Structure 1
Amino acid sequence: MTTEANVAASRSCLAAALALAAGPAAAASLTLQITLPEIKTASYYRPYLAAWVEKADEKAVVGTVAVWYDTRLKDGLGKGWLRNLRTWWRTGGEQLALPVDGVTGATRPVGTHALQFAGGKGPLAQLPPGRYQMVVEAVREQGERELVRVPFEWGRAANTARVQGSKELGLVAVDVAD
């Protein structure tokens, strides 16, 4: 695929996600906190991670909000390992032309990492009020794969939801503020 085709495909994917907008909740903001636990092992590699928003019924992906992978590997080889994030890859990750500005970044170390999204811009800019899930999937070389779903309400009232991971993820929290 040419660079122009990649850009067009990315725009098309983003436009499809934004087409779900009927009446965006522009005043709302969302904070996603992801905790990567310390794992005692002889060889530890930082996990690859994808986070995306989907409808509460799990039938429609709204859009990807974060993808962390090894951006420093020679010849972009880090992108090849992203297919190990199987659920994200099958629900639209393989169609993204990476890197995506404001979405992709390097893997993160052990600890809690906060991502903030304002309702008026970014991946949630055109999200209509309703029930959704923040899905976070992590996979680590010589480790395991884990996926958690955190339900949240967008554009109705402030709310908080937390889900505790058990292997590759610690606490994953979504805080919505009006």
Structure 2
Amino acid sequence: MTDDNTRPMPAARLAVAATLALVSGPALAAGLEFEVTLPQPEASPAYRPYLAAWIEEPGSKEIRGTVAVWYDTRLRDNLGRGFLRDLRSWWRAEGEKLDLPADGLSGPTRGPGTHKVAVAPENAALTGLSAGDYVLAVEVSREDGGRETLRAPFRWGDAENSAEVTGEREITRLKVTANP
């Protein structure tokens, strides 16, 4: 390893850098993380699904904050944003009010497989959360496909905890891990 790309880094500085990386690792892991598994669709052609993820209180459909939105931002005339209406639950409650694309929220659609999303503790949806029980809701909609919403409970304010739920059509699995 080099210091400024010209000289080798002294062993003592290398040891300090390695120790800092180990010590700061758990602190960087704070926040909320979720894994969503999208199945391989049987239809051909298969379009990548749009996705919205948000936090709500248990037993309430009121959205506390959006944590992720995946859609096609490359379409001409912002056409991809128009298809977000197919994420009906999220769109009616929060989506149509958001100014998209939004830094830290918006991202491209993703294909089949397991995708991990880290939500930083400074995300607006997390900063106002008091200790208590919440739900991470994930809604997926695919053109010429279906629509599905899964909800996974988590506890904010205590030690790390996680929950996992399974879906039937558009989401195979949703796992949420909270590390406040």
Range into which the TM-score falls when normalised by the shorter chain: 0.7 to 0.9
The Cα shift of 1:153 comes to 0.6
Instruction: After the TM superposition, list the runs of 4 or more consecutive aligned residues in structure 1 that deviate by more than 6 angstroms.
Output: none
The Cα shift of 1:47 comes to 0.3
TM-score by length of 2: 0.79
Q: How many residues align?
A: 151
- Percent identity over the alignment is 50
- Aligned counterparts, 1:13-32, within 5 A: 28-32=30-34
Question: Alpha-carbon deviations, 1:77-120, whole Å to 9, x = none?
Answer: 0011111100001111111111111101110111111111232x
For residue 92 of structure 2, what is the aligned residue in structure 1? 90
The Cα shift of 1:59 comes to 4.3
- Aligned counterparts, 1:68-83, within 5 A: 68-83=70-85
User: What CA RMSD, in Å, does the superposition of the two structures yield over aligned residues?
Assistant: 1.4
* Letter of the structure 2 residue corresponding to residue 102 of structure 1: G
Residues 31 and 117 of structure 1 are in contact (CA less than 8 Å); yes or no, is this contact kept in structure 2?
yes
The Cα shift of 1:43 comes to 1.2
Q: Are 1:57 and 2:59 an aligned pair?
A: yes
For residue 104 of structure 2, what is the aligned residue in structure 1? 102
- What secondary structure, in the 3-state scheme, does the structure 2 residue paired with 1:70 have? coil
By relative contact order (CA 8 Å, sep 6+), the higher-ranking structure is: 1
Give the unaligned 5+ runs of structure 2.
1-28
The Cα shift of 1:58 comes to 1.4
Q: Which of 159, 167, 170 is equivalent to 1:168? A: 170
* C-alpha distance in structure 1 between counterparts of 2:56 and 2:76, whole Å: 33
* Letter of the structure 2 residue corresponding to residue 122 of structure 1: N
For residue 122 of structure 1, what is the aligned residue in structure 2? 123
For residue 10 of structure 1, what is the aligned residue in structure 2? none
- What secondary structure, in the 3-state scheme, does the structure 2 residue paired with 1:83 have? helix
* C-alpha distance in structure 2 between counterparts of 1:138 and 1:78, whole Å: 15
Residues 69 and 107 of structure 1 are in contact (CA less than 8 Å); yes or no, is this contact kept in structure 2?
yes
- What secondary structure, in the 3-state scheme, does the structure 2 residue paired with 1:75 have? helix
- What secondary structure, in the 3-state scheme, does the structure 2 residue paired with 1:87 have? helix
Bigger CA radius of gyration: 2
Q: Structure 1 residues 59 and 82, CA, compared in 2 at 3 Å: closer, same or farther?
A: closer
The Cα shift of 1:67 comes to 0.5
For residue 45 of structure 1, what is the aligned residue in structure 2? 47
